[in-house]
């Protein structure tokens, strides 16, 4: 028994889920699943009405919650302290930098004690200054008052500043309700759009709102046009996506001339455009979908500017196309592809284009003057950091806005003059309880992978922490969908670091830290490279004396939870504990069930085990749930959300049940299910701290540190 196991001593017996033999087909294969009963037959209903969960499943999940609470009972005071100190780092009366739009500047603001923001505005005077008076457009706290869970999705004011459309989710299921408020009266119109995604775009004349309808399987399937004051049941469907593997997104070009309808899976996209000024909307396809062709569209002047991987541009390039003939045959290279430099995002202004790139796990911003192609890179000197493009409504302006932070440096918002190449600091994230960035060390390391590749690792620790091999370390990873975890600032992780932890982010394959090839090298049948990289990172950190075997806490969420489950099966001895947040661990069963919300769009990422025997074999070989065995598993904390449409609650529930049955002498295995929340956990800026406190208290306890 490792030391971390000896510190857990629950006073009640662990729930033992009943085994109910069940066999189902996946292509030519038969899969036995004794815990399949934990998947409610009425799961669609449960997504929107959690009280509909069958009694036997509810009883089991509540028993798991009680066992988790009991096992962590001695951390209750610690959890309260963690919440208090994390909350003390949050400015309670915080306000975003206002975004100018015509006669107003809009912003989000928080009042002291509030969980949710206000959407507000101030009059923009002709001299560019803002009036003192603040007008509240929308108060999310008032909207949330009657609900156990509340998420304010998109908020979009109309171009004439008369209305605001807003999307709310009160279950965590990501089925949004859309309402439209008259800003002057503060009253909502009778219009009520249901079963929606959160995407919202106004027509130029403010008479219509474009939105996306979700079907019963929670898939965004139709782009609809709602005319204000008319029956939503008669909304015009402008586009319906017939392929179950493609989802829809709705957005607008930087100049707001075109509305964009994008259909995509993880490897292919297709964009249709709609003139925002058109009284009777007609969609035009930029380029018909081609397998493995991705492209993303913006517009300025008389041209479309398209970010794409066309013509073998694995790390993407930017091309232009005339607005009257935007087909692929007319695409002309503007910014050629450069291997190893992943073009991530581009944004247009009347005279400039800004693009966000990543090289060797570090982002960079490039400003290009459209008239002559002159390019300027915004200089950043830190060793590990994060950059982001911030939203602006202005198009005819020499100013762009970006955010910067590092693992030790709180976020800063800058306005950047693209002609003078000067930056103006608009806001620095305030830490009311105090913060000295110089008290922390930020490092970027390279670990050697099993096949010789170099794996970037970002590190944060307090300068007083001894680096002598005795220190506990939390190793965070994700490694899927090309998503790269940024080396950004977090007020939460300071609570671990200040208690002597080293915090490490492994930029493993499956993300795009080192370009698109870094992603494809751990996709489909190559997925195990993600897990090998994480293990290699752990061993490298041990070799460098940042920690030692048995003192590493592995952590990941969603697809990062798959990573945690897989490495526990492969190298459980390395870890003193593991945190799997809403973990995607039942990969084989989920990828065999095309009725689940995300399964068809996920086949390009993981493979389709029903149709491809190689995909079946690959997934079956690493799926955490299917590979549980008698192993020395460390203590585990898994979390779930009952209404989660992305990783269904039964995945971690089944996984914990099988772990407890197959390896009862290891663990313990703790499961905490939020019975009124989805993929993101508890809602609200302070309530959400409770989940982090639970996770960190578990990590501190597993590491054998003081619980005081």
Same-domain status, 418 and 487: no
**Main-chain phi, psi angles of 40, to 5 degrees:** -65, 135
- Cβ atoms of residues 185 and 137 within 8 Å: no
Whose tokens are 């061993």? That residue is 539
Band (3; pLDDT cuts 50, 70, 90): low
Same-domain status, 637 and 573: yes
Last residue of a domain, one of 370, 396, 430: 430
Say if residue 650's pLDDT is above 90: yes
pLDDT digit string, tens, across residues 675-701: 999 999 999 999 999 999 999 999 999
Whether 230 is in a domain gets the answer no
What is the reported pLDDT for 475?
A: 98
Last residue of a domain, one of 390, 406, 430: 430
Rounded Cα distance between 27 and 33, Å, is 16
Whether 192 is in a domain gets the answer no
**Average pLDDT along the chain:** 96
Same-domain status, 557 and 673: yes
Say if residue 1's pLDDT is above 80: no
Same-domain status, 479 and 407: no
**Which letter, b or e, does each residue of 76-97 get, where b requires 16 or more Cβ atoms within 10 Å of its Cβ?**
eebbebbbebbbebbeeebbbe
Q: Which candidate, 273, 278, 290, places its Cα nearest to that of 329? A: 290
- Alpha carbon of residue 622 to chain centroid: 23
Last residue of a domain, one of 388, 409, 430: 430
pLDDT exceeding 90 applies to what percent of the chain?
Answer: 97
**What's the total number of domains in the chain?**
2
- Cβ atoms of residues 540 and 562 within 8 Å: no
Band (541; pLDDT cuts 50, 70, 90): very high
pLDDT digit string, tens, across residues 22-46: 999 998 999 999 999 999 999 999 9
Q: CB neighbours of 261 closer than 8 A, spacing ≥ 6?
A: 223, 238, 239, 248, 249, 250, 271, 272, 273, 274, 283
Say if residue 476's pLDDT is above 90: yes
pLDDT digit string, tens, across residues 244-275: 999 999 999 999 999 999 999 989 999 999 99
pLDDT digit string, tens, across residues 332-374: 999 999 999 999 999 999 999 999 999 988 999 999 999 999 9
Whether 203 is in a domain gets the answer no
Q: What is the β-pairing status of strands 669-674 and 636-641?
A: parallel
Q: Which candidate, 491, 512, 484, places its Cα nearest to that of 692? A: 491
Long-range Cβ pairs for the range 351-357 (8 Å, 24+): 351/398, 351/418, 352/398, 352/400, 352/418, 353/300, 353/305, 353/318, 354/389, 354/400, 354/418, 355/307, 355/318, 356/387, 356/388, 356/389
Say if residue 241's pLDDT is above 80: yes
Band (109; pLDDT cuts 50, 70, 90): very high
CATH number of domain containing 573? 3.40.50.1820
Same-domain status, 443 and 408: no
Same-domain status, 696 and 559: yes
Tokens of 505: 């982010």
Q: Which candidate, 42, 36, 69, 68, places its Cα nearest to that of 55? A: 42
| E strand spans, 140-257 | 151-157, 163-169, 176-182, 187-202, 208-214, 220-227, 236-240, 247-252
DSSP single-letter state for residue 690 = H
Same-domain status, 693 and 574: yes
Same-domain status, 370 and 469: no
Tokens of 692: 């982090």
- Counting Cα atoms < 13 Å in the Cβ hemisphere of 616 gives 14
Domain that holds residue 389: 343-430
Same-domain status, 380 and 441: no
Active site residues: 558, 644, 679
Same-domain status, 481 and 626: yes
Same-domain status, 527 and 411: no
Rounded Cα distance between 594 and 312, Å, is 31
């Amino acid at each position: 028994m490792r030391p971390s196991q000896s510190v857990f001593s629950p006073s009640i017996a662990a729930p033992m889920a009943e085994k109910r033999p069940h066999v189902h087909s996946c292509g030519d294969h038969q899969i036995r699943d004794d815990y399949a009963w934990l998947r409610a037959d009425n799961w669609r209903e449960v997504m929107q009405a959690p009280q509909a969960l069958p009694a036997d499943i509810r009883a089991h999940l509540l028993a798991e919650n009680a066992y988790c609470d009991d096992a962590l009972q001695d951390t209750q005071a610690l959890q309260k302290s963690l919440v208090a100190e994390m909350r003390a780092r949050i400015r309670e009366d915080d306000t975003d930098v206002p975004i100018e739009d015509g006669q107003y500047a809009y912003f989000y603001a928080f009042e002291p004690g509030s969980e949710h923001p206000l959407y507000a505005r101030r009059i923009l005077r002709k001299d560019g200054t803002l009036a003192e008076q603040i007008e509240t457009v929308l108060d999310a706290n008032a909207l949330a008052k009657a609900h156990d869970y509340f998420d304010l999705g998109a908020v979009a004011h109309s171009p004439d500043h008369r209305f605001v459309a807003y999307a709310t989710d009160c279950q965590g299921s990501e089925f949004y309700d859309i309402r439209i408020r008259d800003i002057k009266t503060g009253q909502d119109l009778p219009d009520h759009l249901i079963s929606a995604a959160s995407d919202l775009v106004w027509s130029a004349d403010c008479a219509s709102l474009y939105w996306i309808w979700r079907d019963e399987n929670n898939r965004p399937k139709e782009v609809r046009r709602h005319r204000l004051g008319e029956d939503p049941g008669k909304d015009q469907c402008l586009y319906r996506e017939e392929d179950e593997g493609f989802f829809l997104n709705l957005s607008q070009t930087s100049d707001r001339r075109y509305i964009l309808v994008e259909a995509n899976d993880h490897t292919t996209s297709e964009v249709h455009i709609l003139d925002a000024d058109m009284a009777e909307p007609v969609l035009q396809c930029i380029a018909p979908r081609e397998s493995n062709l991705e492209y993303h569209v913006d517009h300025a002047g008389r041209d479309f500017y398209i970010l794409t991987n066309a013509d073998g541009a694995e790390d993407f390039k930017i091309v232009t196309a005339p607005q009257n003939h935007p087909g692929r045959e007319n695409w002309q290279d503007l910014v050629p592809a450069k291997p190893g430099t992943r073009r991530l995002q581009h944004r247009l202004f009347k005279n400039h284009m800004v693009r966000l790139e990543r090289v060797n796990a570090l982002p960079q911003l490039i400003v290009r003057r459209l008239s002559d192609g002159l390019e300027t890179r915004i200089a950043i000197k830190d060793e590990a950091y994060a950059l982001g493009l911030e939203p602006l409504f202005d198009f005819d302006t020499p100013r762009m806005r970006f955010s910067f932070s590092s693992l030790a440096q709180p976020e800063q918002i800058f306005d950047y003059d693209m002609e003078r190449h000067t930056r103006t600091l608009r806001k620095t994230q305030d830490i009311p309880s105090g913060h000295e960035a110089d008290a922390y060390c930020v490092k970027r390391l390279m670990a050697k992978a099993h096949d010789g590749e170099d794996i970037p690792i970002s590190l944060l620790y307090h300068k007083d922490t001894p680096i002598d091999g005795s220190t506990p370390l939390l190793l965070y990873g994700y490694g899927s969908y090309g998503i790269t975890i940024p080396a950004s600032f977090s007020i939460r992780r300071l609570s671990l670091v200040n208690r002597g932890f080293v915090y490490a982010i492994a930029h493993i394959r499956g993300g795009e830290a080192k370009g698109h090839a870094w992603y494809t090298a751990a996709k489909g049948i190559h997925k195990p490279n993600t897990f090998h990289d994480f293990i290699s990172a752990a061993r490298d950190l041990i070799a460098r004396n940042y920690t030692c075997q048995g003192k590493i806490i592995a952590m990941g969420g969603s697809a990062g939870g798959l990573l945690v489950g897989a490495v526990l099966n492969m190298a459980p001895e390395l870890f003193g504990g593991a945190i799997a947040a809403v973990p995607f661990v039942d990969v084989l069963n989920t990828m065999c069930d095309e009725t689940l919300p995300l399964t068809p769009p996920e086949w390009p990422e993981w493979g389709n085990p029903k149709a491809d025997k190689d995909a079946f074999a690959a997934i079956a070989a690493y799926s955490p749930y299917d590979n549980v065995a008698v192993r020395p598993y460390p203590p585990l904390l898994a979390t779930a959300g009952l209404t989660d449409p992305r990783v269904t609650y039964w995945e971690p529930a089944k996984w914990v049940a099988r772990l407890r049955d197959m390896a009862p002498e290891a663990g313990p295995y703790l499961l905490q299910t939020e019975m009124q929340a989805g993929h993101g956990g508890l809602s609200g800026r302070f309530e959400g701290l409770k989940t982090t406190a639970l996770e960190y208290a578990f990590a501190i306890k597993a590491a054998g540190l003081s619980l005081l």
